[in-house]
Amino acid sequence: MTEKIIPLADIRYAARVPHIPLQLQTPTGLLADTLARPLHDLRISVTDRCNFRCSYCMPSEVFNKDYAFLPQTSLLSFEEITRLTKIFVAHGVEKIRLTGGEPLLRKHLEVLIEMLAKLQTAQGKPLDITLTTNASLLAKKAQSLKDAGLQRVTVSLDGLDDAVFRRMNDVDFPVADVLKGIEVATKVGLAPIKVNMVVKRGTNDAEILPMARHFRNSGVVLRFIEYMDVGATNGWRMDEVLPSAQVIQRLQSEFPLEAIDPNYTGETAERWRYTDGGGEIGVISSVTKAFCGDCNRARLSTEGKLFLCLFANQGHDLRALLRGTQYSDAQISGAVAHIWQGRSDRYSELRAALPPDASVPGSDGARRVEMSYIGG
């Protein structure tokens, strides 16, 4: 008898096979979880690989040559991603963010974008399709991404000082090439571009003001993200988090700012604008000001596991419904509805209510997912 070998990468994170309800209902586009939160955003990770080794995300000591990335056969195909997306859209998703790992490493990504761009929201409008990238390949790919139907990009950049940035990406990648990517993306119309800077106290907080000076008056929206305790490998410590309130204070020392209203309910960034008309910035205070109450995002991993929270240690194996037994779209749709309707995740809110060194009940045990696996 031959033994069935399950590749290690496939059992990396716990995931249960979803329950298919016996009574299937037609999607209304108005799904709500146990805390009355709608399903609005779907973040799709298209690869778990990356050409950077940012210390807060894929530390090189862990993600080294011995690390078992997912085999090609584990990844959802573009057809599988599109089929699932269509089901999510019928349940109310209007915004898709492609992420990873580094999404531009996924071969022929433009083909996926073309397929997704043909889908329409429950109200018959085009989907809002965006992508988060480290921009290493953006200058080369911006035009073809735009032509395929991508609307905007968010670029991650943690500083303008070349030595600081090269140290943070840990692969010696220069700032100039990221700036070139932003320039080309702007030129082809992937705008307004957002730039995300993860702030680590003592590592790159001296870059806050230079970044603000650089992107003021450029049309780029710079956003400062608190360093999060996501995953299990980055050695996160509270004393390395610089609270957004202090980021704003430092910016105010040079540029007067005023708070502005969110664009929509559930927006992760708090928006501010320079009072002299120099544009807008944002702060994402995932640690010091949890925004679980409005969290309307679901995350689909590279291998088709659905996670309902960035800090989840358990996913729902949608790929199991796509491969093997042939379930219908209506059955998979019923399973997705059942999962979302049972959602009660609010990790950051719970953690904020506890002492800094206490762990959130239910969040230990199985290993928490890595950011590079489900995307930001």
Summarize as ranges the residues that interact with ligand SAM (CB under 6 A).
Answer: 50, 56-57, 99-100, 102, 132-134, 156, 196, 198, 225, 227-228, 230, 234, 371-372, 375-376
Partner interacting with residue 85 (select from ligand SAM, ligand SF4, none; CB below 5-8 Å by kind) = none
Q: Which of 44, 46, 54, 199 binds ligand SF4 (CB under 6 A)?
A: 54
Name the residue among 351, 301, 277 with its Cα closest to residue 69: 301
Q: Which of 39, 50, 98, 137 binds ligand SF4 (CB under 6 A)?
A: 50
**Cβ 372 to ligand SF4 shortest distance, Å:** 5
**Cβ 95 to ligand SF4 shortest distance, Å:** 15
User: Can you tell me whether residue 217 is helix, strand or coil?
Assistant: coil
**Cβ 311 to ligand SF4 shortest distance, Å:** 5
For 28, residues 6+ apart whose C-beta sits below 8 A from its C-beta are none
**Cβ 176 to ligand SAM shortest distance, Å:** 18
On whether the CB atoms of residues 143 and 157 are closer than 8 A, the answer is: no
On whether the CB atoms of residues 373 and 48 are closer than 8 A, the answer is: yes
Name the residue among 246, 240, 254, 248 with its Cα closest to residue 222: 248
For 22, residues 6+ apart whose C-beta sits below 8 A from its C-beta are none
Alpha carbon distance 143, 24 (integer Å): 42
Alpha carbon distance 213, 205 (integer Å): 14
Alpha carbon distance 255, 216 (integer Å): 10
- Closest CB to ligand SAM among residues 133, 296: 133
Instruction: By CB under 6 A, tell whether 58 contacts ligand SF4.
Output: yes
Q: Which of 75, 182, 185, 310 binds ligand SF4 (CB under 6 A)?
A: 310
- Closest CB to ligand SF4 among residues 50, 76: 50
User: Per CB under 6 A, which region of 7-15, 23-31, 171-179, 308-316 contacts ligand SF4?
Assistant: 308-316
Name the residue among 237, 250, 249 with its Cα closest to residue 203: 237
Task: Return the residues of window 208-237 that contact ligand SF4 according to CB under 6 A.
Answer: none
Q: Is the dihedral of CA 362, 22, 335, 346 positive or negative?
A: negative
Partner interacting with residue 225 (select from ligand SF4, ligand SAM, none; CB below 5-8 Å by kind) = ligand SAM
Residues in contact with ligand SF4 by CB under 6 A are 50, 52-54, 57-58, 100-102, 134, 156, 290-292, 295, 309-311, 345-348, 372
